[in-house]
Chain A
Amino acid sequence: DADVTQTPRNRITKTGKRIMLECSQTKGHDRMYWYRQDPGLGLRLIYYSFDVKDINKGEISDGYSVSRQAQAKFSLSLESAIPNQTALYFCATGSQLGTGELFFGEGSRLTVL
């Protein structure tokens, strides 16, 4: 089983719908991140969390919200999806005690029609 698991892996939805992407990890890491990837734009940070009570906005948080339900779970919500939120979304984890390396989930491909 993957150390960082994202669900769903693929989702097609319509404009205006609420969508939740979930991430869970078994690595025991304290830090969790949500990134978005668009062609030619690399990975852009949406939100990150250093522990359950610490949530921070990234570069592109508008239109998104997050919830850190437990140390191992971090979910990303799109309250009212729009077509330009069509992208590949990655969850990542890291440890304060580590090298700074992030470990990525397999990605969730979201299409908003």
Chain B
Amino acid sequence: QKEVEQNSGPLSVPEGAIASLNCTYSDRGSQSFFWYRQYSGKSPELIMFIYSNGDKEDGRFTAQLNKASQYVSLLIRDSQPSDSATYLCAVRAGNTGKLIFGQGTTLQV
């Protein structure tokens, strides 16, 4: 089992719809969770991070964390063509400072 798993997609949503991206992780000691966006041929850039169970909102983006289920998700409201990219989920285990990435989900709007 991979440490961080994502559905590679592609996930296709119409413009204006809500895109839901999901990620599961195996290490219960994980403390910090990150969502990065990566355009083709470019470097990853941070969208959001979340530490606590529940929801965290930033503009059109909402990160959701459920540590009991070892599940983190990213919702993108009012999806735009410019949101078309690969979204990478990353998990930091304990105090290691290592960030382990999932394989990424490709979103097409």
Q: Which A residues form the contact surface with B (CB < 8 A)?
A: 31, 33, 35, 40-45, 48, 50, 58-59, 90, 92, 94, 96, 99-102, 104-107
Interface size grouping (class) on chain B:
20 to 34
Interface of B is mostly: strand
Q: Which B residues form the contact surface with A (CB < 8 A)?
A: 4, 6, 8, 32, 34, 42-46, 49, 88, 90, 92, 97-104
Would you call A42 and B103 a contact (CB within 8 A)?
yes
B104 and chain A: residue at smallest CB distance: A42
- CB-contact partner of B101 in A31, A44, A50, A99, under 8 A: A44
Would you call A105 and B99 a contact (CB within 8 A)?
no
- CB-contact partner of A42 in B32, B42, B102, under 8 A: B102
Q: Which of A42, A48, A90, A100 has the most CB of B within 10 A?
A: A42
